[in-house]
Every structure is written in C-alpha cells, then in structure tokens.
Amino acid sequence: MTYVKINKIRKKILEILNIHKINIKIFEDTIDGLIWSSLRGIDSHGLNLFPQYLKEIISGRIDLKPNIKYRKKLNNFVSIDADHAMGHHACSKAVKYLINLSNKTGIAMGNVYNSSHCGAMSYFGFDNVKNGYLIIGMTQATPRVMLKNTKKVFYGNNPLSLICPINKKINFAYDSCITSISFNKIRYLDKKRKKLPPGVALDGLFKMTTDPKKAKYLMPIGDYKGTGLSLFVDILTGALSNMNMTNEVTSMYGDNIKNKRYLSQSFIVLNLKKICNLKNFKRNIYKLTNKIISSKRINKKLDEPKYPGQKENETFIKRSKIGIPLSDDFLRELEMAKFYV
C-alpha cells in the first residue's frame, strides 16, 4: 500500500486524460468526486473507479459533449436530461441549479435522467450544506438483490443520502445503499485480497459466500425493509422520469460497455434559512450527535458509537495530511490505463 498525495494523483489522472485526448473540463467534477470519496475512506466509490470510467468514455457509453437540458415543471421542480454525461458532472450541475432555486422557493427538487454512475451520493452539495442547506440524494444502481423465494434478480442496491450541517466545520452525512455491502466494495476487497464479512453476499448457486470472486448477489439490509427502500428510490428516480426500474436497470459491469446506462437520480434541496431557524437547527443536530459520541461503550474492544459521517470526517482529516492509500495493483492498473484503446 502506497500513500499518495492529492496533487500527485490528480496530476497522474490529468496526464492519462491528456493521452486519450479527453476534455478535462467535463471530467473535473468526476476527478473531484473520486478524490473526495477516497479522502473520506469511501474507497469503493473513490479513485478505484477511475479505470472503469475511462473505459466507459473510450467505449462511447459516456457523452463528453452532453447537451444537458433543464425543464422546469413547477416553480420548485425541475426535470433534467443529462444526455448521458458523466454522472458526477450531471449531478453536480443539477444540485447547484437546485441550490440556487431553493434560495427563492425554500424547497427544490430535481429529477435527473439519461444519466450514468455518479459515485458517492453525499458528494453532491457537501460543501454547500454548511451555508444552511439540507440535501437528500438518491440513485438507481445495478440490480443485485433477489426477489424473495425466487431465483430472479430483481432489486437494485439503490443508494440514498442525507447531508446537513452540524456546525461551520462538520456535516452530518448519511450515505448508504440498501444492501449490507455494495458490489463496488466487493470488487475493492477482491483487489485487496480480503474476504467478505459473513452474511452479505450469495454466489451463483444462491449460497452464502465470503469469497469476493464468487459473490454475485447481495443481501438487503433488514430483509423486506431493505427491498422496500430499493423500490422507494426507484419510484422517486426512474418512475418520475420514465426510466427503467428494478431488474430492467442496466449493469455497470457485465453488460456491453458501449451501451448507455439510462440511469436516474433525484435530489431534494431544503434551504434551512427559509424554512426554519438555522441556528436552532444546528443546535439540535449538534446535541443529537454529541449524545451519540458521549455515550458510554459496553465493550471497549468494539468501536465507539459514531454519528453518520463522523468516521468519514475523521478519515478526511487524516488522509488530507498523509495522502490516499492506494494498492500496488491499482497503481499498476493506472499505468495500464494509458494504453486503453
């Protein structure tokens, strides 16, 4: 494992993009999103995804000259055609648009369609919430969860997030898919030659496995409660934009990489200064998170209680100083990326 400083890895990525004559400006949001995720320890949705994104661009799955269109359906609801842009780029632009809209309307919602994989949902608007916003985000994902008592892959492990300020420096950040583990995390553990936790994945014969190479299907959190959340996200994304849902959603891996993904994301932005007392809101969130942190552990050998986003906040501070840990396999893959055709 090698710790690489941010400026060095950014320089390496820009070098690879230049070799492939890829418009760096359209890729800026993706670079920032990948580095941000890795800095926060969300390695499954961080820099490890860059080689896959590069392949998708070269194959034509991603449009590097998208014509993103905004259609205002109501004063505070916007339908956004991403035109198969990089997911990070489309979602970043969507959230910025919604933040500006919420400055007038208090609450704004946007539904993005004809989109692609967008990485960690809590990235979008994360730095803005400190100025008094609460942002809810969600996206469709590859179907990996079985319909109960069948052999049919049906549900996507659709992530959703909620981010809001605790104080001027720290955010609350819930960001999770509806399965016990994401498939990108499984790929990440496979590259690190680590086993999976028990009870999170099934193999091709529908038996539990801890071998990341054999993992094919994922287990939902809370049984039917998790699959219900998957449908919750599909309804607020795919159904609103007439995109595919459940097992009709295309796969990130395995499907023809030249095929567009037609994914949908949705965001809700609340301007806290307009709909509540921001000072009181922050005080309440601070009180809530402080109760969690200060709770006494029963077993000191186990992890201490943490609020959503606390671990990532701590990792961000640490990695910003020492660099992002990257495996030798990934660094070799990064060198190989220069020669993708």
11, burial (CB in 10 Å: exposed 0-12, middle 13-18, buried 19+)? exposed
User: DSSP 3-state assignment of 1?
Assistant: coil
Query: Which pLDDT belongs to residue 152?
Result: 95
Going by pLDDT thresholds of 50, 70 and 90, the confidence category of residue 1 is confident
- Containing 241, the helix (H) or strand (E) segment is helix 240-241
pLDDT digits (tens, 9 = 90+) for 141-166: 999 999 999 999 999 999 999 999 99
Query: Which pLDDT belongs to residue 278?
Result: 97
69, burial (CB in 10 Å: exposed 0-12, middle 13-18, buried 19+)? exposed
How many angstroms separate the CA atoms of 230 and 304, rounded? 29
How many angstroms separate the CA atoms of 217 and 150, rounded? 13
In 3D space, the residue among 2, 287, 269, 286 whose CA is nearest the CA of residue 111 turns out to be: 269
Which residues are bridge partners to 137 per DSSP?
161, 267
Q: What DSSP state is assigned to residue 32?
A: H
Q: What percent of the chain has pLDDT over 90?
A: 89
How many angstroms separate the CA atoms of 130 and 169, rounded? 7
Q: What percent of the chain has pLDDT over 70?
A: 100
Query: Which pLDDT belongs to residue 46?
Result: 96
Query: Which pLDDT belongs to residue 252?
Result: 93
Query: Which pLDDT belongs to residue 23?
Result: 84
The amino acid at 101: L
CB 121 within 8 A of CB 100: no
Which residues are bridge partners to 265 per DSSP?
112, 139
CB 270 within 8 A of CB 106: yes
How many angstroms separate the CA atoms of 23 and 295, rounded? 50
Q: E strands within the chain?
A: 2-4, 69-74, 77-81, 107-115, 133-139, 143-146, 153-156, 160-165, 171-176, 201-202, 217-218, 263-271, 324-326
pLDDT at 17 over 90: yes
Average pLDDT over residues 100-110: 98
pLDDT at 107 over 90: yes
User: DSSP 3-state assignment of 325?
Assistant: strand
Contacts of 314 (CB under 8 A, 6+ apart): none
Q: Return the structure tokens found at 72.
A: 């205002």
Average pLDDT over residues 156-177: 96
pLDDT digits (tens, 9 = 90+) for 213-226: 999 999 999 999 99
Which residues are bridge partners to 113 per DSSP?
81
Query: Which pLDDT belongs to residue 234?
Result: 98
CB 183 within 8 A of CB 166: no
pLDDT digits (tens, 9 = 90+) for 18-54: 999 998 888 999 999 999 999 999 999 999 999 999 9
Contacts of 301 (CB under 8 A, 6+ apart): none
State if pTM tops 0.85. yes
pLDDT digits (tens, 9 = 90+) for 243-274: 999 999 999 998 899 999 999 999 999 999 99
Average pLDDT, the chain: 95
